[in-house]
Structure 1
Amino acid sequence: MGLGSGDGRDALGLLDLFGDGFISDPYPWLDLLRSESPVHHDPVTGLWLVSRHEDVRRVFLTPDVFLPDNAQYAVTPLPVAVLRSFARAGLTIPPALANNRTASHAGLRRVVTRFFNAQGVAAAVPMIDSIAAELLEGVRSQLDSTGTCDLFTSFGQELPCRVLMELLGITGVDPGTLIRWSDAALELFWGRPAPERQSELAELVVDFHRWVTETARSGRSSSDSFMGALARHRVPDGRLLDVETAVGACVFVFVAGQSTTGQLIATVLRRALTEPHMWSRLASEPGLAEAWVAEVLRREPPVTTWRRVTARPTELGGRVLPAGAQVLLMLMGSGSDPEVFPEPERMCPDRKNIRHHLAFGVGSHRCPGASLAQTEAAMALRAAARDLPGIRPSVGSARSRMLGLLSFRAPLEVAVERPEAG
């Protein structure tokens, strides 16, 4: 996509973060932001867009100036009817994890980290491998019967959901329901849905909240489950964690642990299938799948942006931001910053500084599930390349639908076929 000639700052006046042009190919816009206006005020959303790697990193590392309070605010204002339904259900979004700057944050992170630390992820590898093999068997059956299959809905989406349920001890709900609930929460809070669609999504979010709340209050969660750990957790003043904050933490972990990981797997699979000779190498070359996942996280992370709000007037990238400025960190843009990553448009899994990407954030709010997400994505990629050696993207799949929310972007399908079926 080209942005045309003329003054770059004038072209930025046409930027639409929810538009088809930006969703389908954001890179020219991100390049223009970095070069012409690295801290750019978007008049449509009111957000300050921060796109250079250096500036994004600085924001993450100064949480006393750039607060996380707005990280989970609804991008599109919620109508009164939705707010009333939330109030009736007792649905709130208390400071828990991503939006928490209080003294309780560190302790809650430790609870989460116990389930996603390196030792726990290593112990989960056989379980991940078993679920992946089961799902890929279904993919092969579908390819045998129809010649085509969508790797996202049949494999990449369900794998992280089932893994998360196993790791956290989630019972009493099926994976499909948890996926629908999580996707509804993402669209409602990070999308630009019409009022009618907001009402539909709100019903699903209320169902999600009600199930988590009832489970948390039932006392039936096993002591070694995530909910059991939250029920025993004490905040800094010695009190047990309140139910509302426990529910907020659960919902966030459920969404982040399966929706965004599924989006990562979808992107990893699609990019590997379209890169010449990559698919045939992944099953046999040690470390290649892990390196490919890291490079996809740099160039095309599923979490494309994240929000902060300024505590006081501050300078960033040559601009003075007022107190209360709503800041949008362009994580995808930072991963394509040529000052850090030479030839950023080239997929290069042997980059020496590949781990310098900011896809998981950095500092006190770095994603605690980063290790699990990367491990799952690499294992999913390697297993699919091993078990489905003869597949290729289906005809027309280059125009597949994309999820295009403010902070989340990924393929909504990864359609494949066998050459002999074409």
Structure 2
Amino acid sequence: MTFPALDARVPSPATAGHGPAVGPRSPGTRDPLGLLDLFGDGFVRDPYPWLDALRSESPVHYDPVTGLWLVSRYHDARRVLLDPDLFRPDNAQHAVSPLPVAALRVLARVGFTLPPALANNGTPSHPGLRRVVTRFFNAQRVEAAVPVIERIADELLDPVRVRIATTGGCDLFTSFAQVLPCRVLMELLGIQGVDPATLIRWSDASLELFWGRPALERQLELAELVGEFHQWLTATVRSGTAASSSFIGALARHRLPNGKALDVETAVGACFFVFIAGQSTTGQLIATVLRRALAESGLWPRAAREAGLAEAWVEEVLRREPPVTTWRRVAVRPTELGGVRLPEGAQLLLMLLGSGSDPAVFPDPEQMCPRRANVRQHLAFGVGRHRCPGASLARMEAAVALRAVARRLPGVRLTAKGAPSPMLGLLSFRAPLHVAVEAISRTAAS
């Protein structure tokens, strides 16, 4: 997950967005998906018919609204991710929609700037910075974190059980899924000086501002929150008081290829990426895992006791409904992809959500099959040089969360009444904003 690099000065709206749109040159004059709206309610609520149409009718499809080429077939997306020299990550931090001058001024006032650090970094500094991050998310640390995740999960579920017993229902997103990864991340990375609710609010504001399509008034509100987040990060990095064993302490000790210490701006950029990726997207994954498990006939009681089922279910959710639905790349020279000629500078949007439902790779993709033989081949965490360094931790947290909730709340079901759950519908992020459950019976829930 990444964020737009904004200069401390106030750039014009044209330079704050994804740059000049690349017009279609090879798909032809007919647009088979002219009604496609990546932010529209129809696509957000049920994107699969659109993704199926993209794969079959226009697998490398130019979207004139966003100026992006949508890459929907698995093998095309994988090829792009595995060739960072031809398809560079330079645009991964560009704002989806150009930010208005008023919002840019809010950010500039607090010195907001995020130079290339991780997911958008194609420079020689990337491997070293990535090693700093991966040390905190390697297999040994993730395994050692299991008791921490279990303890925090139980702490959060105690009041949830009481609430369900007394009122008959609860929202597992705001009370559990959203909070668990934030508290886990704070313990693992030694984050201090901020409460979880504030960090969650900052993270969500960053996602909405840079990957959404909010109205002007909302953009200004979000920019204020993002500015607060950046100010806190900058002050924390500059203070020099972080423990040497913490993530910020490790960044302070890191040296660039030229031997110089990491500059504050890049360290802040790395923290910005890791904190939000580890909190927001993992919380979205947990919410989807819980909702899909509750909706699957017979799975809920098995998830609490059947060895390996929670892990297998998480993997299948990542394939079919990952929280990170798309990712961006830019072509550095004219090339061909999926039979379509792309110009130099073409902005690509890799449809990771669609690639996991490609029937050429995953037979019967609409079926949830947790024992699917090739399920780990999905692209939910990317692949290659920029694969998500926190993938193992996210998997583990989601599996532990599913087992804990299924064990502690065996007598709940998705709320039968009311409107469908609202969905987070940003360009690269999709997840339920509520997982409302109710007790099948008061005694079963208590």
Alignment partner, residue 140 of structure 1: 161
String of CA shifts for 1:13-58, please: whole Å, max 9, x gaps. Answer: 0000000000000000000000000000011111000000000000
What is the rounded CA distance, in whole Å, between the counterparts of 2:41 and 2:292 in structure 1? 20
Percent identical across equivalent pairs? Answer: 75
What is the rounded CA distance, in whole Å, between the counterparts of 1:279 and 1:397 in structure 2? 22
Alignment partner, residue 99 of structure 1: 120
Query: How do 1:86-235 residues align onto structure 2 when only pairs under 5 Å count?
Result: 86-235=107-256
Alignment partner, residue 67 of structure 2: 46
What is the rounded CA distance, in whole Å, between the counterparts of 2:93 and 2:220 in structure 1? 18
What is the rounded CA distance, in whole Å, between the counterparts of 2:304 and 2:217 in structure 1? 46
2:264 counterpart of 1:243: yes
Q: How many residues of Structure 1 are paired with residues of Structure 2 in the alignment?
A: 414
What is the rounded CA distance, in whole Å, between the counterparts of 2:189 and 2:81 in structure 1? 28
Contact kept? 2:329, 2:348, Cα under 8 Å = yes
What is the rounded CA distance, in whole Å, between the counterparts of 1:87 and 1:323 in structure 2? 31
Alignment partner, residue 260 of structure 1: 281
Alignment partner, residue 275 of structure 1: 296
What is the rounded CA distance, in whole Å, between the counterparts of 1:117 and 1:258 in structure 2? 17
Q: Which runs of 5+ in 2 are unaligned?
A: 1-29
Alignment partner, residue 416 of structure 2: 395
Contact kept? 1:305, 1:408, Cα under 8 Å = yes
TM-score, normalisation: structure 1: 0.97
What is the rounded CA distance, in whole Å, between the counterparts of 1:157 and 1:401 in structure 2? 15
What is the rounded CA distance, in whole Å, between the counterparts of 2:260 and 2:101 in structure 1? 34
C-alpha change, 1:118 and 1:398, in structure 2 (3 Å) is farther
Alignment partner, residue 38 of structure 2: 17
The secondary structure found in structure 2 opposite 1:308 is: strand
The one-letter code sitting in structure 1 at the alignment partner of 2:406 is: A
String of CA shifts for 1:69-120, please: whole Å, max 9, x gaps. Answer: 1111111111112212222211112000011000000000000001000000
391-400 vs 184-193, greater mean Cα deviation = 391-400
Moved over 3 A (4+): none
Q: What is the CA distance between 1:420 and its match in structure 2?
A: 2.2
2:350 counterpart of 1:338: no
Q: Which runs of 5+ in 1 are unaligned?
A: 1-8
Contact kept? 2:282, 2:394, Cα under 8 Å = yes
What is the rounded CA distance, in whole Å, between the counterparts of 1:115 and 1:255 in structure 2? 15
What is the rounded CA distance, in whole Å, between the counterparts of 1:211 and 1:130 in structure 2? 28
What is the rounded CA distance, in whole Å, between the counterparts of 2:106 and 2:119 in structure 1? 24
CA RMSD of aligned residues (A): 1.1
The secondary structure found in structure 2 opposite 1:364 is: helix
Alignment partner, residue 5 of structure 1: none
Contact kept? 1:307, 1:327, Cα under 8 Å = yes
The secondary structure found in structure 2 opposite 1:90 is: coil
Residue of structure 2 aligned with 1:361, choices 347, 357, 382: 382
Contact kept? 2:89, 2:120, Cα under 8 Å = yes
String of CA shifts for 1:199-251, please: whole Å, max 9, x gaps. Answer: 00000000000000000000110000000000110000000000000000001
The secondary structure found in structure 2 opposite 1:76 is: coil
Contact kept? 2:32, 2:57, Cα under 8 Å = no
The one-letter code sitting in structure 2 at the alignment partner of 1:300 is: E
C-alpha change, 1:397 and 1:73, in structure 2 (3 Å) is farther
The one-letter code sitting in structure 2 at the alignment partner of 1:83 is: L
